[in-house]
Amino acid sequence: MAYIWLSAGVSKIGVHMDITQTIMAYEIFTPAWSDMLARIIGPLEIAGGMLLLLGIKLKPAGWVSIGVLSLFIIGLASAWARGLVIDCGCFSPDQTDQGTNVLATMGRDVLYIAITLWMIYRPYKKWAIYP
């Protein structure tokens, strides 16, 4: 899961306008909120990935990860229910016309939640700092 969060966060660094447009495509947030979220989401994903990679506070970091993934699923479900054709913006902002397979993306996020739950309840403790 550390790799997932790190790769997602790194892909968002330096492409602020693309991330803002991706967030605005969900039609949930105002342009000001979309801009703010675009500025903070990449660094926050990197920070979360580093906590998981280094084994620092594994359980709290895992619960935050599950919360964020749940919010992503809610946003995707909302866009899908309204018939929007969007790019999820998960690992790179791709402003193509074909959009994302939303159901597959939500399924992938559910799988990530399952992996994170396994990590929370069966953490590898040898190198973890305060799991």
pLDDT at 127: 62
Q: Give the predicted TM-score (pTM) of the model.
A: 0.81
Give me the residue label for tokens 């749940």: 70
Averages of pLDDT over each 10 residues, the chain, 131 residues: 92 90 90 93 92 87 92 90 82 60 89 92 67 52
pLDDT at 89: 76
pLDDT at 35: 93
Q: What angle (nearest 5°) sits at the alpha carbon of residue 70, between those of residues 13 and 72?
A: 40
pLDDT at 94: 60
Residue 48 to residues 3, 34, 63, 89, 129: CA-CA distances in angstroms? 10, 20, 11, 18, 15
pLDDT at 85: 82
pLDDT at 126: 65
- Return the structure tokens found at 22: 């991706």
